[in-house]
Amino acid sequence: MGSAAAAAGGGRAMSGGVGGPSASSAAPGSPLESLESLELRGCVRLGDEAAALLGRLTGLRSLDISETAIRGGGLAALTTLRRLTRLAAGGLQTAGDEAWCGLLPALPQLSHLELWGGGAGGAGRAASADPPAGGSGPGGASGGEDLLLALACLGELRHLSLAWTGVRTLPAFPGLQVLDLRHCRLSEVWWPTGGPGRLALRQLLLAGAEVEGPAAAAGIAQLVRCSAPTLELLDLSRLVAVGGHRSSDADPWVASRVLAALADPWDGDGGADGPGTGPAPEEEGQERGAAAAAPRLTCLDLSHAVVQPGDLVLLQCAPALRRLSAAGTRGGCPEGAEALAAAGLHRLQRL
């Protein structure tokens, strides 16, 4: 899966096939009940029958079943693993939203979830479905809305990877620290609390994502604005704008608007103009102050994104920036170099 397979993880590996003769040792009362971490990534012959045996390992806290043959039906057997805090299940292409919506409510302690490259987002809820109590639901009739509603109920969730999936709604969960939506086609941002508010994101990965229409571009900019004080890594490489129903709907300056939002501190009401309605990106750097709106940002990837050379002056908002990638942009022209110098990035180590 390329970069999508570079999911964070670990855990203690356990050799041998779970579906083999030794799998019967997972019976109740066996020593395997004390097993806390199990990594089965890439065991392509491990299927639903083995998943039923995995469900007996009720002491598990970390489980990696990425790129196995477990299907949606097999996931139902994992509802007994209520102690799980980390589940890596990337590459399960036959596991759709219905299966995940059946499993996730049974895992209340889950804090780390990887669903990259699988069947998530392949089926959504009807547009007439009622939103959850206490907030509005994600809109639209497809793109993983049922799944997002299930994810919103995981109060301990901190790390979420949905890269290379059909999910089209970016979830602005207040407690989330890592959000990976690389190579997704995004059409909206969903605020479960009913509107923009302070977020806790430390890493936001949108490499290769397609942003559909100006509303989605404005929503992503607002999300970055609300996350600026805590962001440490922001990956906008190859971020592109695409049209919605009309090709003219595309906002080519989506990356520029995200940079402007990064430099614009969240004031609690979205600003006087509201998100996405201010001056053009090339004018914003001249109007906004040099306050350190993103004091923790150390890594920013803008490679092959559409940005204006003058946008680089906005990086004065990130004085701790150590690594900046602007390959494939106009950042290397004299105007870009001048803007970068004006940003005063004294801690920059890699460019």
pLDDT winner (highest mean) among 140-154, 215-229, 275-289, 333-347: 215-229
What CATH class has 31-343? alpha beta
pLDDT for residue 276: 39
Tell me, what's the pLDDT at 144?
80
Domain boundaries, the chain: 31-343
Kindly report, residue by residue over 189-209, the tens digit of the pLDDT.
Answer: 999 999 999 999 999 999 999
Residue 343 burial by CB count (10 A; 0-12/13-18/19+): exposed, middle or buried?
buried
pLDDT of residue 337: 86
Predicted confidence (pLDDT) per residue in 9-20, tens digit: 433 344 344 444
- Supply the angle between the helices 254-262 and 213-227 in degrees, to the nearest 10: 20
The residue among 268, 255, 265, 347 whose CA lies nearest residue 301 is 255
What does DSSP assign to residue 141? S
Q: What is the pLDDT of residue 201?
A: 98
Residue 251 confidence (pLDDT): 64
The predicted structure's pLDDT at residue 285: 40
Q: What one-character DSSP code corresponds to residue 239? A: -
Name every residue whose Cβ is closer than 8 Å to that of residue 235 and which is 6 or more positions away in sequence: 182, 204, 205, 206, 207, 299, 301
Q: What is the pLDDT of residue 28?
A: 52
- Residue 245 in this model has a pLDDT that exceeds 60: no
Concatenate the DSSP letters of all residues of 171-209 into one string: E--TT--EEE-TT-EE-EEE-TTSS------SEEE-TT-
Q: What is the pLDDT of residue 250?
A: 58
Residue partners of 28: CB distance under 8 A and separation at least 6: 56
Identify the residue whose tokens are 């180590």: 349
Calculate mean pLDDT across residues 105-109.
97
Residue type, 63: L
The better pLDDT of the pair 120, 32 is held by 120
Mean pLDDT, residues 143-167 taken together: 94
Q: Is the pLDDT of residue 307 over 70?
A: yes
Tell me the two tokens of residue 55.
Answer: 């469900």
Residue 281 clears pLDDT 60, i.e. is over it: no
Q: Is the pLDDT of residue 262 over 90?
A: yes
pLDDT the model gives residue 225: 96
Task: Name the DSSP class of 344.
Answer: T
The helix/strand/coil state of 319 is coil
Read off the DSSP letter of residue 26. G
Confidence band, pLDDT 50/70/90 cuts, at residue 249: low
Asked whether the predicted pLDDT for residue 274 surpasses 50, the reply is no
Q: What is the overall mean pLDDT for the chain?
A: 82
Phi-psi region of 185 (alpha: psi -120 to 50; beta: other; left: phi over 0): beta
- Reference 44, options 19, 10, 9, 21; nearest CA is 19
CA dist 72 and 83 (Å) reads 21
Instruction: Please give the distance of CA 189 from its chain centroid, rounded to a whole number.
Output: 12
Q: What is the pLDDT of residue 186?
A: 95
